[in-house]
Chain A
């Protein structure tokens, strides 16, 4: 039996494919044709294509019509851009808006300075950092890794780190 005869018989046996045809959306066919479909859904759509001559044709057409669709999409965008009316320029309005913004920022900054007092804005002097002042060579001032600091055991393990 030739491949042609086999193909005819197989396609004829798949002809009543209304249910299979309904199981796949056009968007899925396009996504598959564009390589954007993955996972179990991809496998299901390929399975449906293998069982339906109609879906096989639709997939072929989706794939073949890509270049024409891109060209038409680009053509429509270009035509619309070329005939689009430019927005009217209003330089006076723009200058007025800029002046209003600058004024609002200036008034706001003066108001804030008065509200916060004379020392506002100065960073508070940081107290000496207990961690940063510690020595790491076992001297008496090492309050982190030494038990000589007399610190309470931590609350997590209930004991000091070096008090096994």
Chain B
């Protein structure tokens, strides 16, 4: 594996990648929710292989930090793409009894339909928000903090927080007016 490398370098690089991998596993577990189908061990292993290949391929004395970040993000996105088909329900084959998946679905068809209706209502209510509040609300509902929203929208955290809370308040009002209130939460 070492090619024409000086003795001892491979072991050092392997040690560095192992340490980086351990940190990466923690970060993936912290920042990527398990319900997206991501396995921190798989991500770490894949990133380590890709970086090792890059080290073998490149003659540069170093891999830039931005390159390493890109490898991590590419690996995560690839894993997310691979996990997508698992989340969808296959259509029944011809002759197969339709709706068997629905019967096996622990949520149940009635609840799924109701959730679908609620999702549509939420999306419509968000779209109806004033433009300045819409984006902070969508980002807040994706789980971003006011600091992160401020960073993404290039504004102060205080302003982001202000727009976010006003937007959420207005969103709840709109949903309540549309007949979707707390009594449906379960």
B12 contacts A50, C-beta separation under 8 Å: no
Residues of A within 8 A of B81 (CB): 18, 21
A32-B21 Cα distance, complex, nearest whole Å: 23
A44 at the interface (CB under 8 A from B): no
Whole-angstrom distance between the Cβ of A62 and the nearest chain B Cβ: 5
A58 touches B6 (CB 8 A): no
Cβ-based interface call for B182 (8 A): yes
Which of A22-30, A106-114, A138-146 is the interface stretch? A22-30
Contact of A66 among B69, B80, B180 (CB under 8 A): B69
A6 to B142, CA, bound (A): 10
A71 located at the interface, meaning its Cβ lies under 8 Å from any Cβ of chain B in the complex: yes
CA–CA, A81 and B9, complex, Å: 10
Distance, CA A12 to CA B111, complexed state (A):
14
CB of B138 within 8 A of CB of A26, answer: no
Pairwise interchain contact B122-A10, C-beta atoms closer than 8 A: yes
**Complex: how many Å from CA A64 to CA B77?**
15
Cβ-based interface call for B97 (8 A): no
Known: A10-B126, A77-B62. A69 touches B31 (CB 8 A): no
**Number of residues from B at the complex interface, CB < 8 A:** 73
Give the CA-CA distance A77 to B64 in the complex, in Å.
Answer: 9
Bound-state Cα–Cα, A74 to B20, Å: 12
B172 engages A69 (CB within 8 Å): no
Q: How many residues of A contact B (CB 8 A)?
A: 58
CA distance A35 to B96 in the complex (A): 53
Q: Which residue of A lies closest to B118 (CB)?
A: A9
Q: Does B70 contact A (CB under 8 A)?
A: yes
| Contact code string A38-70 (vs B, CB < 8 Å = 1, else 0) | 000010001101110110111111101110111
**Inter-chain contact B184/A1, CB cutoff 8 Å:** yes
Residues of chain A within 8 A (CB-CB) of B139 are: 46, 49-50
Give the chain A neighbours of B72 by CB distance below 8 A: 61-62, 65, 69
Known: A68-B24, A79-B13, A85-B6. A58 touches B64 (CB 8 A): no
Contact A65 B24 (CB under 8 A): yes
Question: Closest B-chain residue to A85, C-beta based?
Answer: B6
Q: How far is the CA of A76 from the CA of B9 in the complex (A)?
A: 9
Smallest Cβ-Cβ distance to B126: which chain A residue: A10
CB-defined contacts of B51 to chain A, threshold 8 Å: 72
Distance (whole angstroms) from the CB of B19 to the closest CB of chain A: 8
A1-B180, A10-B123 in contact; A68/B171 too (CB < 8 A)? no
Question: What are 29 contact pairs spanning A and B, CB under 8 A?
Answer: A1-B172, A1-B180, A1-B185, A3-B141, A7-B141, A7-B143, A9-B122, A11-B142, A12-B119, A21-B80, A26-B74, A49-B142, A50-B138, A53-B33, A58-B77, A61-B28, A65-B69, A66-B69, A68-B27, A69-B66, A69-B68, A70-B65, A72-B65, A73-B63, A75-B16, A75-B19, A76-B16, A76-B62, A80-B61
Q: Which residues of B contact A (CB under 8 A)?
A: 5-9, 12-13, 16-17, 19-20, 23-24, 27-28, 30-33, 36, 38, 51, 55, 61-70, 72-74, 76-77, 80-81, 84, 87-88, 115, 118-120, 122-123, 126, 135, 138-144, 148, 151-154, 168, 171-172, 175-176, 180-182, 184-185
Apart from A10-B126, A46-B153, what 10 extra A-B contacts exist at CB < 8 Å? A1-B184, A11-B142, A18-B84, A27-B70, A47-B135, A60-B31, A65-B24, A68-B20, A72-B19, A73-B64
